[in-house]
Amino acid sequence: MTALVIAEHDHASIKPATLNTVTAALACGGDVHVLVAGANAAEAGKAAAQIAGVSKVIVADSPSLAENLAENVAAQVLAIASNYSHILFPSTANGKNVAPRVAAKLDVAQISDITKVDSPDTFERPIYAGNAIATVQSSDATKVITVRTTGFDAAAATGGSATVETAEGVADSGKSSFVGREVTKSERPELTAAKIIVSGGRALGSAEKFTEVMAPLADKLNAGLGASRAAVDAGYAPNDWQVGQTGKIVAPQLYIAAGISGAIQHLAGMKDSKVIVAINKDEEAPIFSVADYGLVADLFTAVPELVKAL
């Protein structure tokens, strides 16, 4: 029984989501291999070989894999899929783009967004915005799985000594082509990797106030900035800051929610944070039910005071 983890990488290094996915793969009980499908990706392959618990890294190098086009990456996975009992992807935009194509071609059911491995064929996953946990058993020969990375600790990025093999890269499928990429550049930590997140809600009232009140707190704490959907929909914060069921799922060491009511769809994205601090002027706000520390206060005075005190 061997599990294959599809690495998330930028050709030169391995992205953190890969490490959590390796932990999930190890919990499946057998050997763990990692596929680095890229172009000039030897460095990423070397980094993957350092991950604790991984026994083999397969580097598939081809110009067709330079831009991570889902059709080509899926073909690359399928080229070696028959060697594996489990194929695991991080539940990121990339992973979710490739996994269903692989599952469909293998004619198996995808097991999505797992948070726990009970046994090699039985997995737990949240449903109804995290209000219930479904236990899913699969009798498929190959389990194609996406892993909710916040459900698993990261494997150590160093300390391993996997062998590195190369595999022939697949030819371009011709089904899609790369046109361009616009990447948000930010000095702040990326939300899904941030150790601390400060999030603002509808209460901020405007984009200007959001920046004026929340940014200094994020700067002081070197935190990522998040937002509720109401704040995003109102244009106070950009779309990629949204935390929740239809935004990002995060589990930082510290999550500070200011002026966020705590609707279940928001909680679905952050309730696994290690320490939750809520600032809300309504003591009945549901966010207090998940908060470790709650402050019933007006955020327009409390947040600047907090910044001053830090």
Ligand X SMILES: Cc1cc2nc3c(=O)[nH]c(=O)nc-3n(C[C@H](O)[C@H](O)[C@H](O)COP(=O)(O)OP(=O)(O)OC[C@H]3O[C@@H](n4cnc5c(N)ncnc54)[C@H](O)[C@@H]3O)c2cc1C
Q: By the criterion CB under 6 A, which residues form the site for ligand X?
A: 201-203, 228-231, 242-247, 259-261, 263, 265-266, 269, 279-282, 285, 298-300
In angstroms, give the least distance from the CB of 256 to ligand X.
Answer: 12
Report the C-alpha gap between 214 and 216 in whole angstroms: 6
Q: Which CA distances in Å does 42 have to 59, 61, 156, 207?
A: 7, 8, 20, 43
Number of residues in the chain:
310
Contact 271, 131 (CB under 8 A): no
Q: How far is the CB of 300 from ligand X (least distance, A)?
A: 5
Taking the CA atoms of 279, 232, 220 and 253 in sequence, report the sign of the dihedral they define. positive
Smallest gap from residue 249 Cβ to ligand X (A): 9
CB of residue 3 vs ligand X: minimum separation in angstroms? 30
Cβ closer to ligand X: 52 or 264? 264
Name the pairing type of β-strands 254-258 and 196-200. parallel
Can you name the residues that pair with 135 across neighbouring β-strands?
124
| Between 155 and 237, CB nearer to ligand X | 237
Helix (H) or strand (E) holding 46: helix 42-49
Token reading at 303 = 């947040």
Beta strands in the chain (DSSP E): 2-6, 31-38, 56-61, 86-90, 110-114, 116-119, 122-127, 132-137, 143-147, 163-168, 196-200, 224-227, 254-258, 275-280, 293-296
Q: Is 29 or 205 the residue whose CB approaches ligand X more closely?
A: 205
If the CB atoms of residues 166 and 301 are measured against ligand X, the closer one turns out to be 301
Is 7 or 299 the residue whose CB approaches ligand X more closely?
A: 299
- Residue 132 CB, shortest distance to ligand X, in Å, is 16
CB closer to ligand X, 101 vs 229: 229
CB of 214 to ligand X, least distance (A): 12
